[in-house]
Amino acid sequence: MFYVTLIVCFLASILLTPVVKKLAFKIGATDSPNHRKVHKNVMPRLGGLAIFISFIIGILIINPESSYHLPIVLGSIVILLTGMVDDIKEISPKVKLGGQIIAALIVVVMGDISVQFINLPFGGKIDFGIFSIPITMIWIIGITNAINLIDGLDGLAAGVSSIALLTIAGMAAVMGNAYVLVIALILAVSTIGFLGYNFHPAKIFMGDTGALFLGFMIGVLALLGFKNVAFISFVIPIIILGVPISDTFFAIIRRLVNKQPLSAPDKSHLHHCLMRTGFSHKQAVLLIYAMAAVFGLAAFIFSQSTVWGSLIVILALLITIEVIVEKIGLIREDYQPLLKFMKGLRPVNVKNR
């Protein structure tokens, strides 16, 4: 029955996307080209609605049992409506953030979902106490916006989200978390069905309707799978979401370095930098897919490693991220401390006299 449901969700997404595309043009949910955007034509941007409806069809068929289920669905409806209004009328960042806060509050308060403590790898634990709710909300809102920020190329956010959801589903299967496994897979196949229309050259964008919804759901599902456990397990969702988290982190650093407002848009995100270095639109997207898959694989290796093995994985990932950041100029073109240090370690060739 479950596999049939996945097929139904996949087909529903394929069939619903053209309908949503027509609706987007009819109600004015379109995206016009400008100096910051890659596309050259007016594009419909309500595609996330097709993903959401397909997802709802799936959970209505399966009807998964969990105390978290109703709050998650209610929160997802709030975040979806926030994205839809923004796609149609372009609301202010403050209003958009307000919708995200309400959605996160519904999940955290109604669903009693919060990170209350972390067991440290070498003994002891950190108890968040009264800060557990704000920390949890910051996580959910942060991941919601991280997915939204990488939604800059055809198929990019949908593909990275699909990889993250499949990784979360795989980890949930290993950990025996049936609810997260079911929800993550239903959402993944719904997103993959939409991706057929969204991959370059895209016929429709998911818009904030899709990016906020997917980011919200990924943030919540990652939290459900790995909350209130050891420090090592808490790091797993951060690794799984390494691409959007890294891009968001370095966007903040970049704006601080350049003395710009944190909300200021720019054309220096990961995908922009890759295209400036010579990669085509499709190549940049596929390369970021590969990065997301590597992070997913690293999360599995990390979860099965010893404490010292896990620390080695983290160190290797951090060094790799820093090298990529410096190579493509994600912060600034002249920012290359690690590359310069590595260059200084190279042996000097001395010619024989």
Calpha distance 326→291 (Å, rounded): 16
pLDDT range class, residue 118, cuts 50, 70, 90? confident
Instruction: Return d(Cα 284, Cα 278) in angstroms, integer.
Output: 9
Amino acid at 300: F
Are the CB atoms for 168 and 222 separated by under 8 Å? yes
Q: What is the per-residue pLDDT across 144-179, written as a single tens digit (0 to 9) for each?
A: 998 988 888 899 999 999 999 999 999 889 888 999
Judged against a pLDDT cut of 80, whether residue 288 lies above it is answered with yes
Residue 87 pLDDT greater than 90, yes or no: yes
Contacts with 329 (C-beta within 8 Å, 6 or more apart), sequence order: 268, 273, 276, 335
Q: Where do the H-state alpha helices sit in the chain?
A: 2-27, 48-62, 69-89, 93-105, 132-149, 156-175, 178-198, 207-226, 231-240, 242-257, 270-276, 281-304, 307-328, 337-345
What pTM did the predictor assign? 0.87
| Inter-residue contact 168 to 180 (CB < 8 Å) | yes
* Sign of the dihedral through C-alpha 288, 289, 290, 296: positive
In a 13 Å sphere around the CA of 174, the CA atoms on its Cβ side amount to 14
Identify the top-confidence range among 70-79, 223-232, 236-245: 70-79
Angle 39-44-47 from CA coordinates, rounded to 5°: 110
pLDDT in the model for residue 38: 58
> Can you say how many angstroms the Cα of residue 206 is from the centroid of all Cα atoms in its chain?
14
* Half-sphere exposure in the Cβ direction for 270 (13 Å, CA): 30
User: What amino acid is encoded at 82 in this protein?
Assistant: T
pLDDT value of residue 234: 67
Asked if residues 125 and 117 have their Cβ atoms less than 8 Å apart, the reply is: yes
Query: Across all residues in the chain, what is the average pLDDT?
Result: 87
Whether the CA torsion 206, 211, 212, 217 is positive or negative: it is positive
| Cα–Cα distance list, 90 to 82, 95, 104 (Å) | 10, 10, 21
Please tell me whether residue 73 adopts helix, strand or coil conformation: helix
Using an 8 Å Cβ cutoff, are 337 and 319 in contact? no
End-to-end CA distance of the chain: 78
Contacts for 98 with CB less than 8 Å, ≥ 6 apart: none
Cβ atoms within 10 Å of 41's Cβ, excluding its own: 9
pLDDT at residue 7 tops 90: yes
Half-sphere exposure (Cβ direction) of 188: Cα atoms closer than 13 Å: 19
